[in-house]
Amino acid sequence: MKLKPVKATINYSDLEKVDIRVGTIEKAEVMEKPVPEGAQAG
């Protein structure tokens, strides 16, 4: 396996701009696909 070089580090101020969300999915539901406006339901 060939290793790739480590990428450059970023400033903390740049890291603060990134939206990182961590959590657990507790429930998922199947939903109907919306019909675009002006289209006929099939």
How confident is the model at residue 32, as a pLDDT? 92
pLDDT given for residue 30 in this prediction: 95
pLDDT for 41: 58
- pTM reported for the whole predicted model: 0.33
- pLDDT digit string (tens) for 1-42? 899 999 999 999 999 999 998 999 999 999 999 888 887 755
Tell me how many helices (H) and strands (E) the chain has: 1, 0
pLDDT at 27: 95
What is the b/e burial string over 3-21, where b = at least 16 CB atoms within 10 angstroms of the residue's CB?
eeeeeeeeeeeeeeeeeee
Q: What pLDDT score does 39 carry?
A: 76
